[in-house]
Each structure stands twice: as structure tokens, then as C-alpha cells.
């Protein structure tokens, strides 16, 4: 698995996760909303380098444990290194979740930006549910791409000059229909969980609104620009013909592909460190309780 896609994305993952949540919001969710006040055994599906572990574990009661599962060998090695001196017990399991079964021994099962990458999200949700004890909690932090795309504001430009929402909405819908992988899965999870028998379902939205401010010379502002770039905003669309062919293969017309190319070329010029930009990722955070 040397050329496994996500193994080569550690930099992207570690530079972009923080765009979604303020730390105080995660603290608020864990302590005041979900009321996790005694130690929990937590398992993270598609853990990557262990992002959720780094954020949630310091907030959980002493004695809590963290298990991460991922198909990326480099990601799992990186996670093992990251957590080697952690003051809590960790375990990292390398494997393809599609092929794995888990014992029902966890109190909390989580995933972050994982379900959108599987072609059978409902079946995977069933696996997640099955690894919980009675009264265990499932928590899914997943994207809702179209609301994310609607939540960029680049100063001095009409939003429709930056993002073609109608076109993207159809593109994402067609992608999901064709592949099963759904970038809008976040908004559907309350429904899926209810259909799978989960109780006490609640869904929230991520809190962070990022503000790129050219008047600020703070370190965070510089990091924000780099993270937005790393996340693909204002990226150079590359060579026109292959860009359009790729969109045509995803069901777009030539004219739609051409318009999108022009828009992304324009954006790659217009987005730089000297512009005001606001952006809310609008992740959806869905939770519920499993009763056996
Ligand atoms: C967008 S990354 C998110 C990683 C991490 N949760 C985070 O937010 O930083 C998606 C992750 O899901 C993992 N993944 C996708 N399909 C998988 C599968 N069938 N089995 C195990 N891991 C999988 C990938 O290896 C990748 O690390």
C-alpha cells in the first residue's frame, strides 16, 4: 500500500482540520452537551493521523482510552509516534474497515471526514453501531459540501463569480449517485442513524468562521492563508483540456466545464494574502445513543 492516497496527505490533513472548530466548542460539546463525565473507551473510524484523538482525549476524563483504525500504514505509524508519550492508553489498528468486524466493547465511536469516502456509508454506520456497548454513543463529524461551498465570501467579488452553486450541487449529486461516495453525507446522517435504530439523535454544525484579514500580521492569519490554499481554495486548475474532460466524465457539459475552468482560473489569481475572505466550513456533527 506504498502509494495509498491518504498516506501522502498527512500535510494536508494536519494543516486543514483546525479550520472547522474552535477548541472551546469541542470542549463545550463534550462536557456540556454530551455530558461525558466518566472514562470512556473511544474508537475512531478512519482516524488518519489521529486528529480527533489529539483534540478529544485531553478533554475526556482520566482513564479514557483511544483506539484508531485506518487503512494508511504511514498514517498509523505517524499516529503511533504522535501518541507515544500520551498520558492515556492508545491502540492503532491498520486495516480496511470494509473487511473488519469489531467487538461491541466501546463506549463511544467517532469518525471525522471519513464516511464521505466510503461507497456504502449506511453499512459502515452499522459497523460503527455494532462496536458499541448498550447506551454507547456514536458521533460523526462529516461534511456537507454544498453548504461549505456556499459559505465563502471573497471581498470585492460577487459570490457567484467565485462559486457556481447550482453547477456544484448537481455535480456532487451525480458523483454520489455514481460512486456512492457522498460529500454531502453530513446533512443526511440524522436520517440514516434513525433508520438504523439509533435513539436521542441530535445534529449540530461546526462553529468556526475563518477570517482572513490582510490588516492582521498575526501568525494565525498567515497559517489560515496557507491552510485555505492547502485545502484547495484558489488552487491553479491546471491544463484546460484535461480539467474540462475530467468534469465531462463526471456528467458536466463542455460549456459547464469551460465556465468552471474560467472561474477557477480567475479565483487562483484573485485569492492572495492581500484579500479579505470569510469562510465557514459548515461540518455537521451528528450524535445518538445505541440501546441494545
Ligand atoms: C479525509 S481522511 C480523514 C482522516 C481523519 N479522520 C481526519 O479527519 O484527519 C479519510 C480517512 O479515512 C480513511 N479510510 C477511508 N476508507 C477506509 C477504509 N475502508 N478503511 C480504513 N480507513 C479508511 C483514509 O485512510 C483516511 O485516513
Average pLDDT over residues 97-103: 97
Tell me the CA–centroid distance for residue 16 and ligand 1, in Å.
14
Average pLDDT over residues 144-160: 97
Q: What percent of the chain has a predicted confidence (pLDDT) above 70? A: 99
Tell me the CA–centroid distance for residue 15 and ligand 1, in Å.
16
Tell me the CA–centroid distance for residue 198 and ligand 1, in Å.
23
To test the ligand 1 pocket, which listed residue (8, 71, 93, 139) has its Cβ within 8 A of the most ligand atoms? Answer: 71
**Count of Cβ atoms closer than 10 Å to residue 202 Cβ:** 12
- C-alpha of 255 from chain center: 31
Tell me the CA–centroid distance for residue 115 and ligand 1, in Å.
8
162-213 tens-digit pLDDT: 999 999 999 999 999 999 999 999 999 999 999 999 999 999 999 999 999 9
Cα maximum dimension of the chain:
58
pLDDT value at residue 232: 96
Tell me the CA–centroid distance for residue 70 and ligand 1, in Å.
6
Mean per-residue pLDDT of the chain: 97
To test the ligand 1 pocket, which listed residue (19, 46, 75, 206) has its Cβ within 8 A of the most ligand atoms? Answer: 46
Q: What percent of the chain has a predicted confidence (pLDDT) above 90? A: 98
pLDDT value at residue 42: 98
Render the chain in DSSP notation, one character per residue. -TT-GGGG-HHHHHHHGGGT--HHHHHHIIIIIS---S--EEEEET-TTTHHHHHHGGGSPTT-EEEEEES-HHHHHHHHHHTTT-SSEEEEEES-GGG----S-EEEEEEES-GGG-S-HHHHHHHHHHTEEEEEEEEEEE--HHHHHTTEEETTS-HHHH--HHHHHHHHHHHHHHHS--TTHHHHHHHHHHHTT-EEEEEEE----EEE-TT---HHHHHHHHHHHHTTTT-----HHHHHHHHHHTT--HHHHHHHHHHHHHHHHH-STTS-EEE----EEEEEEE--
pLDDT value at residue 234: 96
pLDDT value at residue 182: 98
**pTM, entire model:** 0.97
To test the ligand 1 pocket, which listed residue (92, 117, 121) has its Cβ within 8 A of the most ligand atoms? Answer: 117
Q: Is the pLDDT of residue 1 over 80?
A: no
CA atoms within 13 A on the CB side of 200: 11
Contact 30, 36 (CB under 8 A): yes
Average pLDDT over residues 121-138: 98
pLDDT band at 2, cuts 50/70/90? Answer: low
Average pLDDT over residues 19-45: 98
Atom 10 of ligand 1 has which residue's CA nearest to it?
114
Amino acid at each position: 500500500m506504498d502509494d495509498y492516497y491518504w498516506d501522502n496527505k498527512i500535510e494536508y490533513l494536519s494543516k486543514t482540520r483546525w479550520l472547522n472548530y474552535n477548541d472551546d466548542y469541542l470542549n463545550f460539546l463534550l462536557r456540556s452537551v454530551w455530558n461525558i463525565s466518566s472514562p470512556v473507551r473511544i474508537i475512531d473510524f478512519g482516524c488518519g493521523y489521529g486528529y480527533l484523538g489529539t483534540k478529544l482525549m485531553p478533554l475526556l476524563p482520566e482513564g479514557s482510552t483511544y483506539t484508531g483504525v485506518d487503512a494508511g500504514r504511514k498514517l498509523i505509524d505517524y499516529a503511533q509516534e504522535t501518541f507515544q508519550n500520551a498520558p492515556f492508553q492508545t491502540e492503532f489498528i491498520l486495516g480496511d474497515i470494509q473487511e473488519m468486524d469489531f467487538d461491541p466493547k466501546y463506549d463511544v465511536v467517532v469518525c471525522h471526514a471519513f464516511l464521505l469516502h466510503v461507497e456504502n456509508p449506511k453499512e459502515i454506520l452499522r459497523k460503527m453501531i455494532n462496536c458499541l456497548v448498550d447506551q454507547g454513543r456514536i458521533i460523526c463529524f462529516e461534511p456537507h459540501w454544498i453548504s461549505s461551498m456556499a459559505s465563502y465570501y471573497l471581498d470585492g467579488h460577487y459570490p457567484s463569480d467565485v462559486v457556481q452553486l447550482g453547477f456544484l450541487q448537481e455535480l456532487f449529486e451525480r458523483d454520489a449517485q455514481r460512486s456512492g461516495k457522498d460529500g454531502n453525507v453530513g446533512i443526511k446522517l440524522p436520517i440514516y442513524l434513525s433508520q438504523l435504530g439509533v435513539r436521542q439523535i441530535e445534529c449540530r454544525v461546526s462553529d468556526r468562521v475563518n477570517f482572513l484579514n490582510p490588516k492582521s500580521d498575526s501568525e494565525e492569519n498567515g497559517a489560515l492563508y496557507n491552510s485555505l490554499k492547502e485545502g484547495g481554495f484558489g488552487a491553479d486548475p491546471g491544463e484546460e483540456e484535461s480539467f474540462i474532460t475530467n468534469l465531462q466524465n463526471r456528467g458536466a457539459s463542455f460549456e459547464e466545464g469551460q465556465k468552471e475552468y474560467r472561474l477557477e482560473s480567475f479565483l487562483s489569481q484573485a485569492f492572495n494574502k492581500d484579500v479579505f475572505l470569510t469562510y465557514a466550513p459548515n461540518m455537521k456533527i451528528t450524535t445518538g445513543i445505541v440501546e441494545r
